[in-house]
Amino acid sequence: MHVENLTEHEVSNAREALQQLIEGAANRKVASTNMNRASSRSHSVFTCLIESKWESQGIKHHRFSHLNLVDLAGSERQKSSGAEGERLKEASNINKSLSTLGHVITSLIAVSNKKSQHVPYRDSKLTFLLQDSLGGNSKTTIIANISPSSCCAAETLSTLKFAQRAKHIRNNAIINEDASGDVLSMRLEIQHLKKELSRLQGQSGFTNNGFVCESPSAFKWDQANGTFSPLMFDKRATQRRDYDITLAAAFRREQEKEAKLKAAIAAKQIAEELATQRSEEVRSFRMRLRFREDRIKRLEQVASGKLSAEAHLLQEKEDLMKEIEALRNQLERNPEITRFAMENLQLKEEIRRLQSFVDEGELERMHQQINVLEHQLLEALDWKLMNEKDPVNKDLSLFGEEAGDEKNEFLLVQAIQNEREIESLRKNLSVCLQAKEKLE
């Protein structure tokens, strides 16, 4: 696409870019009309291509974007502006270009609504230049200028409708960035990461350089030599078994939470059905009330002689049949029955859960888990106390202090949580057994 007198300047900072914007604004073509002393007689587009480059860890990053500042010029009527000759031709071109912009926006709205439609960007130079801003991966802001005068009501309404349509366009804005790196530096980085991975994997037990500390409980104090020595294999196996017990208990609690969630979803569905039945009951009561009011009106008409007794009896029979049908429907969908069914379902589910909790030995397992956590907590506290008393192994103490504190806090929270859960389950079991006795 060719644009006459289009120029491009390279700038390196915001001040130079602002200077170019001021020069571009001075080149805007303006003229006086009956509606505006400095009316824009053409579109004005200022495009700023922004690029940034930097290097990080041997990788070169290149980020770029476009900033378009556009003066769309105003849509004006010939009768109001008094445009003639060259001014009339300019207004015609502006209105034609804005009309094309409106068609493009309409097509983009259809595309945003998952419809397959061609977007006519090439129908005008303006829409072709703004293709990325309108339907690309950019963020676009449109400022609609309107007049408070009543004589400009038509133009104001047209502008507001245009802005309202533009609001329905949905763009997915992303960062335009390319990354490329030196092959040698990237290979060195890969080797470094492999070494780090091997070092971390070696911390699970013995390595070529000796035993690596995995946790505070992985060492014991040798009083004779005044040093730490690794525990025997059976001790580590016991710890692994304790960890397995803790993990299995966490999984069981997770499954229990999922079962509670499913029960809550079922209760929600029953509650929604109960609300629907309540609405039907209210509607039935209103219909019966309307039947009674109609009956009273007919009796008054029979008493005044406006309605015959035979017609009254026929209408009375028809209303009674409708009322019987409404009562039958209300009886079939009694909300009290649904409410009792929901409560019964909840109690049965709670009894089943607590019964399985007792039958499957979950209570004993939780007691076992609490004992394991208490044992681990005591070991961690002994480790911390021993390191505080020994000035020789100060560095090793500092190495394991942070991990020991975190582990102590975790074990303490786990123990408290398990004790609270056991107490809550005991209370729930007692309540459910009492409810079961009442139901029986």
Distance CA 299, CA 316 (A): 10
- Give the SS3 label for residue 32: coil
d(CA 61, CA 175): 12
Rounded Cα distance, 243 and 289, in Å = 68
- Count of beta carbons in the 10 Å neighbourhood of residue 288: 16
pLDDT tens, 102-130?
Answer: 889 888 888 888 888 888 888 888 888 88
- Give the model's pLDDT for residue 393: 47
The one-letter amino acid code at 284 reads S
pLDDT > 50? residue 433? yes
Tokens of 25: 């604004």
Q: How confident is the model at residue 226 (pLDDT cuts 50, 70, 90)?
A: very low
Separation of CA 346 from chain center: 32
Rounded mean pLDDT, 392-415: 54
- Biggest CA–CA distance in the chain, Å, is 121
**In the predicted model, is pLDDT for residue 404 greater than 70?**
no
Query: What pLDDT, on the 0 to 100 scale, is given for residue 406?
Result: 57
| Helix H or strand E encompassing 129 | helix 125-129
Complete DSSP assignment for 321-348? HHHHHHHHHHHHT-HHHHHHHHHHHHHH
Quote the pLDDT of residue 365.
Answer: 65
User: Please, what is the average pLDDT of the chain?
Assistant: 73
What value does the mean pLDDT take over residues 133-149? Answer: 85
**Cα 153 from chain centre:** 41
What does the block give as tokens for 331? 């009886």
pLDDT (tens digit, 9 = 90+) per residue, 336-350? Answer: 666 676 677 777 777
Whether residue 242 contacts residue 429, with contact meaning beta carbons closer than 8 Å, is answered with: no
Lowest mean pLDDT among 212-226, 306-320, 371-385: 212-226
Q: What letter does residue 179 receive in the DSSP assignment?
A: E
pLDDT in tens, 90-100: 777 888 888 88
CA gap 31, 40 in Å, rounded: 7
- Of 202-206, 207-211, 386-390, give the range with the top mean pLDDT: 386-390
pLDDT (mean) for 35-55: 83
C-alpha to C-alpha distance for 81 and 89, rounded to whole angstroms: 13
User: Is a pLDDT exceeding 70 seen at residue 387?
Assistant: no
Q: SS3 for 397?
A: helix
Residue 384 tokens, joined: 């911390």
Q: What confidence score (pLDDT) does residue 366 get?
A: 65
Which of 13-17, 188-192, 233-237, 242-246 is the least confident region? Answer: 233-237
Residue 154 predicted with pLDDT over 70: yes
Residues in a beta bridge with 219: 230
Say how many residues make up the chain.
440
Residue 46 has pLDDT above 70, yes or no: yes
Model confidence at 385, pLDDT cuts 50, 70, 90, reads low
Closest to 27 measured CA to CA, from 45, 12, 15? 45
63 DSSP β-pair partners: 52, 177
Most confident option among 145-149, 178-182, 353-357: 145-149
Residues with Cβ within 8 Å of 249's Cβ and at least 6 positions away in sequence, in order, are 365, 366, 369, 418
Instruction: Label residue 59 by pLDDT band (50, 70, 90).
Output: confident
**Quick check: 386 pLDDT over 70?**
no
CA distance 309 to 291: 17
Percent helix, strand, coil in the chain (nearest 5)?
Answer: 65, 10, 20
Mean per-residue pLDDT for 30-56?
81
Q: What is the pLDDT of residue 399?
A: 43
